[in-house]
């Protein structure tokens, strides 16, 4: 039994030695293998020369394509120029004409006078309008009602603290809650009252009321001023005022 064991150990050692030598010999064989074929002589070419030859060989196709593109572009440009010339010829350069109007007011007129003047001037002017002229007979300085009755009372106490003494709080009707601060016959006196209140930081409003008629007004819009309608206006002997259109 002991002899068999020693025999196996010896065989293992032999196999190990043989395997190591065989792998070493194969490595040497690979390393010694030539990278080129000895039976066939190959010519070495530099990479720079190869790239230069390729550049020389390719331009023929590129030039053909570029030439075709350039020809197509030339055709398009010629067509574009032709179209522009055609458009320029077809659309003449016409200057814009801006109409200049002048407006006037003729007043005061009676209703018959205003309607008669309109009938005479309708064919001679651009536009003619007849309207009733109203003028307020009095101007009311007041603080509108913007909330409840309690809010109006609070507003009243506020203007008292600011030194306002002449006022009237309306307690009924459509103007309930309005604080009246004066009614004046002329607009100038109403503006003086308004200025006095604003100096005390009281915001108020002026309303013209009880309008009365002051006759009729004829408004005219013309292109040639009064040249074509002077004869009709001179016979009326009324005020003619130029206004903005």
Domain assignment of residue 96, yes or no: no
Q: Is 152 within 8 Å of 175 (Cβ atoms)? A: no
Domain assignment of residue 154, yes or no: yes
For residues 85 and 138, state if they share a domain: no
For residues 75 and 154, state if they share a domain: no
Domain assignment of residue 201, yes or no: yes
For residues 78 and 110, state if they share a domain: no
Q: Is 133 within 8 Å of 212 (Cβ atoms)? A: no
For residues 192 and 75, state if they share a domain: no
For residues 108 and 200, state if they share a domain: yes
Buried b (16+ CB within 10 A) or exposed e, 81-103: eeeeeeeeeeeeeeeeeeeeebb
Q: How far apart are CA 206 and CA 128, in angstroms?
A: 32
Please determine, for residue 47, whether its predicted confidence score (pLDDT) is greater than 60: no
pLDDT per residue over 145-185, tens digit each? 988 899 999 999 999 999 999 999 999 888 899 999 999 98
Please determine, for residue 61, whether its predicted confidence score (pLDDT) is greater than 50: no
Please determine, for residue 50, whether its predicted confidence score (pLDDT) is greater than 80: no
The whole-angstrom distance between residue 232's C-alpha and the CA centroid of its chain comes to 49
Q: CA angle, corner 12, sides to 8 and 16, nearest 5?
A: 175
Query: Which residue reads 């043989």 in tokens?
Result: 18
The whole-angstrom distance between residue 90's C-alpha and the CA centroid of its chain comes to 33
Q: How far apart are CA 115 and CA 43, in angstroms?
A: 117
For residues 83 and 120, state if they share a domain: no
DSSP state of 226: T
For residues 164 and 58, state if they share a domain: no
Q: Tell me which residue range forms the domain holding 82.
A: 54-90
For residues 229 and 208, state if they share a domain: yes
pLDDT per residue over 96-113, tens digit each? 666 788 888 888 888 898
- The residue among 39 and 202 whose pLDDT is bigger is 202
- The residue among 43 and 144 whose pLDDT is bigger is 144
Q: What value does the mean pLDDT take over residues 10-33?
A: 65
Q: What value does the mean pLDDT take over residues 43-71?
A: 50
Q: How far apart are CA 145 and CA 149, in angstroms?
A: 8
* Global pTM value: 0.37
Q: pLDDT > 70: what percent of the chain?
A: 67
Number of domains making up the chain: 2
Domain assignment of residue 31, yes or no: no
Q: What value does the mean pLDDT take over residues 63-80?
A: 50
pLDDT per residue over 190-221, tens digit each? 999 999 999 999 999 998 887 777 788 888 89
Structure tokens at 107: 């007043």
For residues 85 and 195, state if they share a domain: no
Domain assignment of residue 239, yes or no: yes
Please determine, for residue 87, whether its predicted confidence score (pLDDT) is greater than 50: no
Domain assignment of residue 107, yes or no: yes
Q: What is the pLDDT of residue 22?
A: 66
| pLDDT classification of 20: cutoffs 50, 70, 90 | low
C-alpha to C-alpha distances, 98 to 1, 95, 179, 223, nearest whole angstrom: 133, 10, 52, 11
């Amino acid at each position: 039994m002991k002899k068999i064991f020693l025999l196996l150990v010896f065989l293992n050692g032999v196999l190990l030695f043989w395997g190591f030598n065989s792998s070493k010999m194969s490595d040497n064989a690979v390393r010694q293998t030539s990278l080129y074929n000895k039976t066939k002589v190959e010519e070495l070419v530099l990479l720079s020369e190869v790239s230069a030859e390729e550049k020389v060989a390719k331009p023929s196709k590129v030039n053909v394509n570029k030439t075709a593109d350039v020809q197509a572009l030339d055709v398009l440009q010629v067509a574009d120029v032709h179209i522009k010339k055609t458009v320029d010829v077809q659309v003449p350069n016409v200057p814009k004409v801006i109409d200049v109007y002048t407006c006037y007011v003729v007043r005061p007129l009676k209703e018959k006078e205003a309607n008669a003047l309109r009938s005479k001037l309708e064919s001679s002017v651009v536009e003619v309008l007849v309207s009733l002229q109203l003028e307020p007979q009095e101007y009311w300085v007041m603080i509108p009602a913007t909330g409840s009755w309690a809010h109006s009372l609070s507003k009243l106490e506020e203007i008292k603290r600011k030194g306002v003494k002449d006022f009237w709080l309306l307690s009924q009707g459509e103007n309930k809650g309005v604080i009246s601060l004066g009614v004046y016959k002329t607009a100038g006196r109403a503006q003086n009252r308004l200025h006095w209140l604003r100096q005390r930081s009281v915001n108020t409003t002026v309303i013209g009321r009880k309008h009365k008629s002051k006759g009729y007004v004829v408004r005219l819009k013309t292109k040639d001023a009064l040249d074509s309608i002077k004869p009709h206006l001179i016979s009326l002997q009324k005020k003619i005022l130029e206004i903005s259109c």
